[in-house]
A and B are shown apart, each in its own frame.
Chain A
Amino acid sequence: MIIKNYLKLDSKIPIGPLNHKWINHKSSLKLVSPSNRSNIEIIVVGTGLSGGSVAATLAELGYQVKVFCYQDSPRRAHSVAAQGGINAAKNYKGDNDSVYQLFYDTIKGGDYRSREANVYRLAEISSNIIDQCVAQGVPFARDYAGYLENRSFGGTKVSRTFYAKGQTGQQLLLACYSAMSRQIGKGRIKMYNRYEMLELVVIDGIARGIISRNLVSGEIERYAAHAVIIASGGYGNVFFLSTNAMGSNSSAIWKVHKKGGFFANPCFTQIHPTCIPAHANYQSKLTLMSESLRNDGRIWVPKNIEDAISIRNGEKYPENILEEKRDYYLERRYPSFGNLVPRDVASRAAKERCDKGFGIENNENKEGVFLDFSSSIERYGIEKANELGIKNPSLMEIKRFGEEVIESKYGNLFHMYEKITDKNPYKNPMKIYPAVHYTMGGLWVDYNLMSSIPGCYVIGEANFSDHGANRLGASALMQGLADGYFILPYTIADYLSTYIHNKKELSTNHVEFDKSEKKVKKRILQLISNNGDLSVDFFHRKLGNIMWKYVGMSRDNNGLSKAIKKIQELRDEFWKNIFVPGNIEDGFNSELEKAGRVADFLELGELIAMDALYRKESCGSHFRIENQTKEGESLRDDIHYKHVSIWKYQENKSISEEMMYKENLTFSFVKLQSRSYK
């Protein structure tokens, strides 16, 4: 890797005091008049919260929008699976929440590796999002007086998370899917379901369209536009096992990267602390249990290693372990936040206990910890009995009342857990373990959310800008909708307004379209005619193993160097020995779809490891074993690494020859402190 310190890369952060930046910036952005908007065409790739909301809003403004998604309907986008909630600084609960508090929690939670101006804007907009969603008919949880309910999430000391049971993502996504549907009906959005973007077309340095494949007919098609918006989500599936949907992939952002779009902080991958532990090697997917469960669940492992062994062997059950023999390690280590420490802290603490042999799940690596609701069930049960005026309630009654309260808060999550594990979490504590969840890294964007390729915008999880080295719970939904509903529709007009003056015609006949299409076809042919011996899944699993082992929850110099070499070897083997069935003229071919995506993961994986190797500090999700305090907490190095690492692909060269540049992060509003949740 080649490291350069300086690049003329304008992040376009407005000058002025932090709390005036967005307001001032908006007033300086150029406009496109309503009568001209229908002459402008925009492509949106992805239909999750960010893609769906931006498509709906741009179409409402009057632009012509083409939307692409790989599933059969925009309603399937993986934002639908987000469970816990969405943050907003409404201070409805009167616990002294404010825009500043939300901003501060987020920037601290991200370990001071995100852009101050972007995070502040996000906090500012948060309240609008809730109002918008209520107006769209999102059935948020309400109290008996009819007002909106809130709950608390990791890394914060206030209740600012709005929710709809454990299905908040679903309700928000369906709302923006509805808003999109309304525009499809009007003919302002043209929807391309079961389509995959396979190349970005760049003409004279400007994004001008995409090449996509119709996944049903197999046809390769060209689409031109005045701007291309990438809203394709994160790349966690590079680890094979993750909480992402099986089809979530990095291909769209990776194609942009290889066409010149800079990739920022690829190594920042969030490991979520509360997933159902992996159980066997045929497993295809990990399932998340919402972080909101930590409001009422207490996390523990046995204090004595013998007890842990007995539990693993099925000789003892959690209820056999007396209270004083349990180690509530988060409450012990972080008394002030307890079970609600941020995700990176909770994940590492679980790993530490399991590495020491205290894991309670009988799987390959003996990994798993308890998430126990018994104290909450008892507490709620007594409260409820009091409320109903029942004196001296029996233990059975208390449990029943308590379970009812828990059911009303997390019913669907408990149901899901039981279906997967065959264990009733009301009666036995859940078993959980960290798993790959969200990627904070992504394509580099400026304050206007434009990538380093003019005309190509990147929003939601696909960009890098708002979460730093770690994302706080309930802020992904917030960013997706803020970008789509309230930021990009303003900033993109500034760029599009130039088209009105030089009236460039759109055409797919340009030689760049020919070249891009040829490239896509060549690659498909290469995959399908290879006739090797091994399946796509074989390579994907193998890559996932390398990534999890060496680029997972903790990383070190040797492991990362090893990972880079192993990924390179695996990639060579892939292109030599892959077998994809079918013929090029056939249509629907799931193996072919997967093969293209895994080929991209095999390159991105190497970049992730390179970025992790370079960053010799511990921050947020990135824990370098060489850089830790005596207590095993992460040790940041603000002198050398207070910057965004920006990777630039060099055409026709290997990934290992990518160049790295830095965008220095400046903090004017907050003082950098070592992150403590004690």
Chain B
Amino acid sequence: MKELLNFILKIWRQKNNEEKGKFETYRIDDISPDSSFLEMLDLLNNQILYNRTGGEPISFDHDCREGICGMCSLYINGRAHGPESLITTCQLHMRHFHNGETIYIEPWRAKSFPIIKDLVVDRSSFDRIIISGGYISVNTFGKTIDGNMIPIPKEYADQAFDAGTCIGCGACVAACKNRSAMLFVSAKVSQFSLLPQGKIERKKRVLNMVKKMDEEGFGNCTNTKACEIDCPKGISTEYISFMNKEYIQSFI
């Protein structure tokens, strides 16, 4: 049997975006090192429910718990998705924390992600960026040509795929000191620009998406690469360079 762990949790509580938030302190004992971070929060919420003290359970976003839907967030000990690389919070396990450790848990911190409640933020600004042009304008009911009619070099297909694996969780924004969304936007821009199907609209797409990103209040990139370090899918900042090139070329 593995040694069970105890923690002190400092968790950000905030009723809604208008009211002021603050840290509350909780104690949780006997956590298995194999428990996931969110399972630990489930247990804490149960504790709160059964004790009838400490108010309502803590609200946090989560869904697939497989690291792919991008719903979970959490700023843990000063890092988006916590201390481990290349994972989302739902795939973070308590074995990565020390017994007795104090863990700070905060929501994503960005003006463009207003707080809904406690640790839950509103990421619809990401949706609005996609709505502004993050697609290929092909109709879905028409007849398209055979999938093999346009061969695509494997390296391009692979690179487009790597960019396409972005889960839109917002960790890049939360990790960035400028609250920039450029990693997110560049991933989508690159995916489509690398594929022949997406090349036709590439100029319009990058212009629209960058414009929308600015309107939504996201900051600019100053190449500190914090986004790349905290991105759970390892999206490279090379895509930001790629997007910058696309952006400049769109004026030519």
Contact = CB atoms under 8 A, between A and B. Distances in A.
Contact of A76 (B35, B63, B93, B137): B63
Interface residues of A, number: 83
A92 B130 CA distance: 33
A130 B137 CA distance: 17
B137 A165 contact: no
A72 B46 contact: no
Interface stretch (A22-30, A132-140, A300-308, A445-453): A132-140
Contact of B66 (A136, A174, A287, A535): A287
Given A139-B195, A284-B39, A579 B65 contact: no
Interface stretch (B19-27, B153-161, B240-248): B153-161
Interface stretch (A53-61, A336-344, A613-621): A53-61
A449 B171 CA distance: 40
Interface stretch (B99-107, B115-123, B173-181, B220-228): B115-123
B116 A590 contact: no
Interface in A43-78: 53, 56-57, 60-61, 71-78
Contact of A178 (B123, B134, B151): B134
Interface in B49-95: 49-50, 56-57, 59, 61-71, 84, 86-87, 91, 93, 95
A14 interface: no
A280 B32 contact: yes
A55 B62 CA distance: 25
A245 interface: yes
A220 interface: no
Contact of A146 (B134, B135, B145, B153): B153
B213 interface: no
Nearest to A485: B140
B158 to A, nearest CB: 8
Contacts of B68: 80-81, 167, 170
B142 to A, nearest CB: 9
A181 interface: yes
Nearest to B34: A279
A486 B64 CA distance: 28
Interface stretch (A383-391, A415-423, A562-570): A415-423
Given A131-B144, A178-B135, A139 B164 contact: yes
A87 interface: no
Contact of A57 (B16, B64, B141, B195): B141
Contacts of A181: 127, 130-131, 134-135
B198 interface: yes
Contacts of A137: 135-136, 160, 191-192, 195, 197-198
Nearest to A130: B147
Contacts of B124: 72-73, 193
Residue of B36, B131, B140 most packed against chain A (CB within 10 A): B140
B18 interface: no
A318 interface: no
- Interface bin, chain B: 35 or more
A147 interface: yes
Interface in A405-462: 412, 415-416, 419-420, 422
Nearest to A177: B130
B238 interface: no
A148 B136 contact: no
A584 interface: no
Interface string B178-203: 00000000000001100101100000
Given A57-B140, A73-B123, A167-B68, A420 B145 contact: no
A282 B144 contact: no
A186 B187 CA distance: 23
B215 to A, nearest CB: 14
Nearest to B86: A415
Nearest to A288: B66
A588 B120 contact: yes
B29 interface: no
A71 B63 contact: yes
B132 interface: yes
A319 interface: no
A243 to B, nearest CB: 8
Contacts of B59: 588, 590
A92 B138 CA distance: 24
Contacts of B136: 135-137, 178
A125 interface: no
A258 B70 CA distance: 33
Interface string A98-133: 000000000000000000000000000000001111
A141 B155 CA distance: 10
11 contacts: A53-B140, A56-B140, A72-B122, A73-B127, A74-B127, A81-B66, A164-B164, A177-B130, A182-B135, A590-B57, A591-B56
Interface of B: 16, 32, 34-36, 38-39, 42-43, 46, 49-50, 56-57, 59, 61-71, 84, 86-87, 91, 93, 95, 116-117, 120, 122-124, 126-127, 130-141, 144-148, 150-154, 157-158, 160-161, 164-165, 167-168, 191-192, 195, 197-198
Interface of A: 53, 56-57, 60-61, 71-78, 80-81, 90, 92, 130-137, 139-148, 164-165, 167, 170-171, 174, 176-179, 181-182, 184-185, 191, 193, 216, 243, 245-247, 279-280, 282-285, 287-288, 412, 415-416, 419-420, 422, 485-486, 489, 535, 537, 579, 581-582, 587-591
Given A72-B61, A142-B154, 19 more contacts: A60-B140, A71-B71, A73-B123, A76-B70, A134-B147, A135-B145, A139-B160, A140-B147, A164-B161, A167-B165, A170-B68, A170-B164, A177-B130, A185-B133, A245-B66, A245-B69, A282-B39, A422-B95, A588-B116
